[in-house]
Amino acid sequence: MWDILLAHPAANAVGAFAALLGITWPLYASRRALLMAQGAAHAAFAVHFWLLGAPTAALMNVLGAAQTGAALPLGDRPGFRRLYLAILPVIALGAALTWHGWASLFSALGLALFSLARYQLDTLALRMLMVLGIVSWFAHNWMVMSIPAMTTDMLSLATSLMMIAAERRRRKQPA
């Protein structure tokens, strides 16, 4: 593991910072705070993947950061829904233009699943779709050997599952 980390010190230093940002987003209770934390993590991971030489993942994270900004007003301004959905074909185009095989497929699929998750106004539905996106990103991150990103995926997955269970319990309680 150390040889992988030492092979790309700048990428992994940025990746460690991105991981710190990335492991916090499932802990936020509100949709807005959750999305803002995701946007910050996307921005940092974009730099990490660029330095690592994974251009599709870098681009997907730039798009993800932009998309989290567009997702914020979805609940208040329904007109943003069309603008928000317009990012989906851009994800496919970005993957095609930066194609590097299976890794590109999984990063694009991960962002597409995150996109569908962020489109949800219900936090439980958002979290459940995020879990699928995390699994897809983990497959990508394994292929490009991003230890910071895989660490983030594992911790985010565990935290997301705990938050899903807590939210389901909360919803079952009588008002």
Q: What is the pLDDT of residues 32-76, one digit of tens each?
A: 898 899 999 999 999 999 999 999 999 999 999 998 888 888 878
Spell out the domain ranges in the chain: 2-172
Each residue's pLDDT tens digit, 83-124: 788 888 999 999 999 999 999 999 999 999 999 998 888 999
Alpha helices in the chain (DSSP H): 2-7, 9-22, 31-52, 55-71, 80-85, 87-97, 102-119, 123-143, 147-172
Contact 171, 122 (CB under 8 A): no
Is pTM beyond 0.75 here? yes
| Contact status, residue 133 vs residue 117, Cβ threshold 8 Å | yes
The total of other beta-carbon atoms located within 10 Å of residue 93's CB is: 12
